[in-house]
Amino acid sequence: MRIFVYEFVTGGGWYCHSSQPPPRSLLSEGFAILRSLVADFCSLGGVSVDVLQDVRYRDLQLPDCTLHAVHSAVEEEQAIERLSSVADWSVIVAPEFFGYLHARCQAVERGGGQLLGPDSRLVALASDKHATAGHLRAHGVRVPEGIVLAPGEPLPRSFEYPAVLKPRDGAGSQGIEWIDRPTRHRTNGDVPGRLETFCEGTPASVAALCGPGQMVPLAPCRQLLTSDGRLVYLGGALPMDAHLAGRATRLAAQVIRTLENPLGYVGVDLVLGDDLSGAGDTVIEINPRLTTSYVGLRALADGNLAAAMIAVAAGHPVELCWQSGPIQFEASGAVRFCSPLGGV
């Protein structure tokens, strides 16, 4: 079997985004995901792995795979089409903003490749945070109330505050602001935004492996965010309390059932409210791609998550088991096992 693994920051995607080098935090996070995926795929018997490597980051070592150097944005696009066309599966990890993830999924599809992840139609829906909210609400899923703001449009005084302002096509915590009252103009006013009501509760994420006629939920993670008003993602912790984990898994499953032909690794970000019945639990967004949570989940999984992802996508039954943990993982990909009392 041949697997093509692409990660945006390390694989040449930054050429089309900026002439300046990426922040070290993004490079660390991207490489942590890539390194984990490659290690899991390469540990499977009879599997070869192809990876794109931005020539500016040759110091990022990836043993046991075939590296393909990328020198420009044009070369990156051509390489994605070429390598995905001869691979059995292609895993694309890229941010949703500016259509980066969508464009690269389309490149795989143009080349006749098989995505081990959501197709470009699902990516287009999930990349638009306002369209996603509308889709979920139409299917009876609780989401924050929200409106669209045009670039430069001031914050409306009639909206319910506190609120969260995010880019309409955002990814992760990029460009997110917590706003207690509309006394100032938006600071990220150069892109279309979504203003939505702030949801109190426990932030969490649930990823699932999806394939024909089945969905295998992974262990829910508690999200760790900054409290400085930017809601920056710091990483996660798992396992969660059993009651909260059950609520999170049920809500994520409800979300994924609304999607047409989901495949591969699909994530759901949500907030679990104080109501023990789960009546206040709210879905924030859908991640149509593999995220940093993979790094933590693979550490707790009693088995190979990459193998499970392929098996589920191919329609084979999979049963996952988990170690007791607990663990915490950082956005940079660092993982640490903790004692039940919170120590390392």
Q: What would the pLDDT profile of 131-148 be if each residue is shown by its tens digit?
A: 999 999 999 999 999 999
Instruction: Show which of 158, 177, 197 is a domain's final residue.
Output: 197
Average confidence (pLDDT) over 220-228: 87
Quick one: 38 and 163 in the same domain? no
pLDDT of residue 338: 83
122 located within any domain: no
pLDDT of residue 125: 97
pLDDT of residue 344: 47
Average confidence (pLDDT) over 315-333: 90
Question: What percent of the chain stands above pLDDT 90?
Answer: 77
Task: Reply yes or no on whether the pLDDT at 332 is more than 90.
Answer: no
| Domain residue limits at 32 | 2-116
- Burial (Cβ within 10 Å: 0-12, 13-18, ≥19) of residue 258: middle
Task: Reply yes or no on whether the pLDDT at 113 is more than 60.
Answer: yes
- Tell me the average pLDDT of the chain: 92
pTM: 0.93
Quick one: 213 and 333 in the same domain? yes
pLDDT of residue 109: 97
Task: Reply yes or no on whether the pLDDT at 173 is more than 70.
Answer: no
pLDDT-based confidence at 183, cuts 50/70/90? confident
Number of H helices, E strands in the chain: 8, 16
pLDDT-based confidence at 25, cuts 50/70/90? confident
Higher pLDDT, 8 or 227: 8
Distance CA 142, CA 25 (A): 33
Instruction: Show which of 176, 197, 218 is a domain's final residue.
Output: 197
Q: pLDDT tens digit string along 154-170?
A: 899 999 999 999 999 87
135 located within any domain: no
Smallest Cα–Cα separation from 240: which of 176, 300, 183, 165?
300
Distance CA 33, CA 277 (A): 35
Instruction: Show which of 70, 98, 116 is a domain's final residue.
Output: 116
Distance CA 310, CA 145 (A): 37
- Residue 328 corresponds to which tokens in the numbers above? 């915490």
Task: Reply yes or no on whether the pLDDT at 58 is more than 70.
Answer: yes
Number of folded domains in the chain? 3
- Residue 143 corresponds to which tokens in the numbers above? 């989401």
Average confidence (pLDDT) over 227-240: 83
Distance CA 336, CA 69 (A): 33
187 located within any domain: yes
